[in-house]
Structure 1
Amino acid sequence: MSTNNTKTNGGGLKSLYLKEDWWAVWIGLGIVVVALILWATGQSGILGALNVKFAGYSDFSGLLPCVTGIFPNAIILYVVLAVIFSIVMGIMGKNVPKFLGGFTLLYVMAILVQILSAWSLAKQFSLEAPVMALIVGIIIGNFVKIPDWFEAGMRTEFYVKTGIVLMGATLPFTLILQSGPVALMQATIIAVSTFLVIYFCASRLFKLEKPFAATLATGGSICGVSASIAIGSAVNAKKEHVSVSISMVVIWATIMVFLLPVVCRALGLSDGASGAWIGTSEFADAAGMAAAAQFGDGAITTFTLMKVVGRDIFVGVWAFILAIISVTMWEKGESADGTRQKPSAGVIWERFPKFVVGFFIASILITVVTLASTPDVAATIDKQVLSPIKGLRGWAFILCFLCIGLTTRFKALAATGWKPFAAFTCGVVVNVALGFLFSTIILNSYWTTVGLG
């Protein structure tokens, strides 16, 4: 079988069990289905054993109860996650012992950052667990050499995609149908504007190669890291250019995760408007979730509508369009190894982020069950099914934020050069400004209402 056939046919079959994108879907939906089955059979208490609660404390005397209170649930959760993830890594051909060692240390760190975030002083400064995980990760990652076996457990994309699928279960599909068009409209206007600004600055002002400019532009306008990888492949960009684009995303995503919440609070924005602005202006799902989580479920809802429903779904479409432009206008003939993929309708599906599919299915599944239930039963579902799912979603994101922090090396980011940074920054200015205009002025009342539920 040729390489291209493997991409087309094998990509449709083998990718179902060889790629993290699909495994995030299987694990996320599997958890949702199991949770519903346990609830329907009266065994929802089993899920309760996976719910690890960290009691708040203000001094050392309250620290011990916080630590001891998480056992044995923390151990049970570790065993369940370690078994599931290790099986998945084994199927994908990864080194399971190395992964398990890295995951174990990462899990211990996740416990520590949640204990820190339960401290009253941390709460006073709005240092919720996701932000605390990012801070701790950045400090360790920039001052301690990370061993190879630990890096094997840092599966950033895998954790965040699984968390997003689980998030779908907590977001009613009726709300997606109602608010999705608005989110799509806002995201389209801002994404197109941001793309054009970055592309123009990169290709015209700073004379960067057009495939490089397109990769930078999509990384800053659509879906961050995932977009950089997908579009970089679609336009046949150099590997180092994709890496630089990812670095730009990481730099600004890290800045925004701290800056946007501060500005939102200073301006007195509602949770809903804050979440929508963050969803429009952040460049990575994980970082955006960390920022939105500081405002509660209302902000998480509007952030998800803007980022996942409004922006992430564009990856496949943009990959298809830019692949055509690349082949017809930028490139001459085949690449040296003859493996460059010709643009076709299949590119849309190949590049489409599969976790978004899982997100929608999870939302539809829970919504159908809830709508078919009485109000009392629906309340039971919320408590016995959705509450544990939210807890697992939180763990997935905290693991992801730790990975982002641990892999963010400021020294390496500084070596990317000023031209890509300048071009990307021009897009950041437009992106944030338009996001603010739409989220807090033009559609402020709308997003505020959505955020209130």
Structure 2
Amino acid sequence: MAEKKWLTEDKLALILGLVLFGLSLFNFGGVDPLGWAVKSNVWLEPGQMFSAATGAYKGMSGVLSLILTWIFVTVMLAFGIRALGGDAKRFMVSFTLVFFIGFFCFAIGHYAVVAATPNQLAKYNLKWAMGLTGEAGFIVALLVGIFIGNFMPGLAEKLKPALRPEMFVKIAIVILGAELGVKSVDALGLASAVIFRGLCAIVEAYLIYWALVYYISRKYFKFSREWAAPLASGISICGVSAAIATGGAIRARPIVPIMVSSLVVVFTCVEMLILPFVAQHWMYNEPMVAGAWMGLAVKSDGGAIASGVITDALVRAQAMAVDGVNYQPGWITMAATTIKIFIDVFIGVWAFVLAAIWCTMIECKPGQRMKLGAILDRFPRFVLGYVITFIIMLLLCAKGGDLLKMGKTAIGDTGPFRAIFFVLTFFTIGVVSNFKKLWDEGIGRLALVYIVSLFGFIIWIGLFISWLFFHGVKPPLAS
């Protein structure tokens, strides 16, 4: 069933993210409405896996917390799917499988031998651990998703109604804005520096990337303009959203942005499995460079921000193990998120520019005019949610004291939901990455452009620009 015109998945993500954020604000009135949400813990015994998010519900069993969270999230999303015009019952059945598979993958990543950092070894009576932190669960979820998508087509088909990675990550980003707003109170100077540097970095990177990919696609691979423009937008930096927006701006056939978007999803998986570990081993002494690099190099919203989350954990663990430096969590993620957010804002601007060029210089159809409303429709609404929650929490907590404590309790409520939606993003990205199907559809030549561009210059230019703008910028130390 077609989505209703008044509501898109992007707007729905904004609404649902703001609902969760709004509920968390009751903490400023002394009420903790979401503290029962399930939180994954580093564990050795299965009974330690889950617990309620906040101390107000410390008597609640982890299993009950998990069940309540599943019911709440499933019903909330089902209402949203129904509002979009989808089949809520089919979604609920599929989502139940997605939720439990994804969340148990996340729990496996919290096993102490995998997740415990060097400063936690004594706590868990361990002599050695991988030190990947609990965010290793994201990688487990991604790998399991890839396995299901490529080797268990029957199960993948059953999960299909709930495979909405872009919606999941957008909800998580709206929530993330609130968390970063609270954390920024302790380091306002650093937060503003990250935002400014991120804006400069994406403008410079985008203009270089796009022009190079478009030129290579046209000159050496002989793609038409219809293919080269969405390919340049999708490969260069912005991913799925940019490919779709560009396709609409130049009036490309629907198959064009769909094929490019599929390619982006596949290579996002590859980047997510490689780049965070590269950053861990060679960039732990420049943590903000590592975060910015994820934002510039990994293409999809979900992939870039999820890679930022993994990199945040891996780099902090490596810095602790090698140098004994314990950075605050979240700042590396903020660098990746900030850059990706500015990129999403820039998509609308770039779509407007391309629409103008195609209308006035390439197609030159008499009487055709650009409509401002069409450009505004391309503006990612979840970005607005990220900004709103960030600013509100920043203003509420700016005076510190009890207000800051209440703010930290509030993000303690939303933190588990952010983690859940990130897990869902990782898992569903993996499932939709059916490599064989894409190859059968003739994506080989497009993939070759992607490989040449990605490994030939995008990763390296992104790394240089990240270093240029974030070199020497360090996250605050954990107290």
The 8 Å contact of residues 262 and 438 in structure 2, kept in 1 or not, is answered as yes
Counterpart contact for 1:298–1:451, Cα < 8 Å: no
Residue of structure 2 equivalent to 1:434: 461
Write the distance in 2 (CA, Å) between the matches of 1:108 and 1:316.
36
Deviation string, structure 1 residues 87-145 (Cα, Å, up to 9, x no partner): 11111110111001011111111221022111234331736122111111001111111
Q: Is the 8 A contact 1:271 1:451 kept in 2?
A: no
Matched, 1:386 2:402: no
Q: Hey, what's the Cα distance between the residues in 2 that align with 1:212 and 1:125?
A: 44
More displaced stretch, 80-89 vs 146-155: 146-155
Instruction: Work out the CA distance in 1 between the residues paired with 2:47 and 2:361.
Output: 65
Give the aligned partner of residue 154 of structure 1: 163
Superposition pairs of residues 29-44 of structure 1, within 5 angstroms: 29-36=18-25, 38-44=26-32
Q: Please, which of 125, 130, 150 is the counterpart of residue 138 of structure 2?
A: 130
Q: 1:138 & 1:349 partners in 2: Cα distance?
A: 35
8 Å contact kept, 1:165–1:358: yes
1:192 to 195, 207, 213: 207
Name which of structure 1's ranges 241-250 and 212-221 shifts more when overlaid on structure 2: 241-250
The one-letter code of the counterpart of 2:436 is K
- Which stretches of structure 1, 4 residues or more, deviate above 6 A after TM superposition? 450-453
Q: Tell me which residue corresponds to 2:258.
A: 243
Code of the residue aligned with 1:324 in structure 2: it is: A
Indicate the structure with greater helix content.
1
- Measure, in 2, the Cα distance between the counterparts of 1:208 and 1:84: 44
In structure 1, C-alpha distance between the alignment counterparts of 2:5 and 2:385, rounded to whole Å = 15
Is the CA contact (8 Å cut-off) linking 2:234 and 2:299 kept in structure 1? Answer: yes
Contact 1:285 1:307 in 2 (8 A): yes
Mapped contact 1:272–1:298 kept (Cα < 8 A)? yes
Alignment of 1:178-217 (within 5 A): 178-217=193-232
Secondary structure of 2:292's aligned partner: helix
Tell me if structure 2 keeps the 8 A contact 1:211–1:326.
no
From 70, 83, 91, give the equivalent of 1:99.
91
Among 317, 335, 338, the alignment partner of 1:305 is: 338
> How far apart, in 1, do the equivalents of 2:477 and 2:368 lie?
42
**Residue 180 of structure 2 aligns to a residue in which SS?**
coil
Question: Cα–Cα, structure 1 residues 399 and 426, in superposed 2: closer, same or farther, change >3 Å?
Answer: same
Q: Distance in 2 between matches of 1:73 and 1:89?
A: 24
Q: 1:3 corresponds to which residue?
A: none
AA matched with 2:472 = S
Matches of 1:427 and 1:346, distance apart in 2? 33
In the alignment, residue 53 of structure 1 is paired with which amino acid? S
Cα distance in 2 between the residues matched to 1:374 and 1:259: 40
Structure 1 403/341 Cα, relative in aligned 2: closer, same or farther at 3 Å? farther
SS at match of 1:82: helix
Q: CA deviation at 1:306?
A: 1.6
Aligned 8 A contact 1:133 1:402 in 2: yes
Distance in 2 (alpha carbons) for counterparts of 1:274 and 1:187: 15
Question: Are 1:163 and 2:172 an aligned pair?
Answer: yes
**SS at 1:343 equivalent:** coil
Question: Cα 1:20–1:70, aligned 2, differ >3 Å: closer, same or farther?
Answer: same
Q: What one-letter code is carried by the residue in structure 1 that aligns with 2:453?
A: G
Partner residue of 2:401? Answer: 375
Q: Quickly say closer, same or farther: Cα 1:392–1:442, change in 2 above 3 A.
A: closer
DSSP-derived class of the 1:47 partner: coil
Q: CA deviation at 1:15?
A: 4.8
Query: Paired residues, what number?
Result: 425
What secondary structure does 1:52 align onto?
strand
Tell me the equivalent position of 1:289: 305
1:255-274 aligned within 5 A = 255-269=270-284, 270-274=286-290
C-alpha displacement at 1:318, in angstroms?
0.8
Q: What is the CA–CA distance in structure 2 between the aligned matches of 1:345 and 1:442, rounded to whole Å?
A: 33
The CA deviation string for residues 358-390 of structure 1, in whole angstroms up to 9 with x for no partner, is: 11111111111111x4324302321x1012212
Structure 2 unaligned runs (5+)? 52-60, 116-129, 314-329
User: In the alignment, is the contact (CA less than 8 A) between 1:278 and 1:291 conserved in 2?
Assistant: yes
Counterpart Cα distance in 2 of 1:129 and 1:281:
22
In 2 relative to 1, CA 48–347 (structure 1 residues): closer, same or farther, beyond 3 Å? same
8 Å CA contact 1:282–1:288 kept in 2: the answer is yes
Separation of aligned partners in 2, 1:271 and 1:161: 24
| Identical-pair percentage | 25
Q: 1:348 Cα deviation (Å)? A: 2.5
Q: CA deviation at 1:449?
A: 4.5
Q: Deviations over 1:138-196 (max 9, x none)?
A: 01111111464521111221111111111111123756544322111111111111101
CA distance in 2, matches of 1:370, 1:283: 33
- Aligned residue type for 1:171: L
Cα 1:245–1:176, aligned 2, differ >3 Å: closer, same or farther?
farther
- Tell me which residue corresponds to 1:444: 471
Q: CA deviation at 1:203?
A: 1.4
Change (3 A) 1:67 1:389: closer
Change beyond 3 A, Cα 1:410–1:289? same
TM-score (norm 1): 0.87
Letter in 2 for 1:402: F
Q: TM-score, normalised by structure 2?
A: 0.83
Aligned to 2:327: none
**Match 2:383 to one of 356, 369, 375:** 356
For the aligned residue pairs, the C-alpha RMSD in angstroms reads: 2.5
Change (3 A) 1:178 1:271: closer
Higher mean displacement: 317-326 or 68-77? 68-77
> Unaligned stretches of 5+ in structure 1?
1-10, 335-339
Q: Which of 123, 134, 147 does residue 139 from structure 1 map onto? A: 147
What is the rounded CA distance, in whole Å, between the counterparts of 1:308 and 1:285 in structure 2? Answer: 8
Task: Assess if the C-alpha contact under 8 Å between 2:345 and 2:383 holds in 1.
Answer: yes
User: Relative to structure 1, is the Cα distance of residues 125 and 370 closer, same or farther in structure 2, using a 3 angstrom cutoff?
Assistant: closer
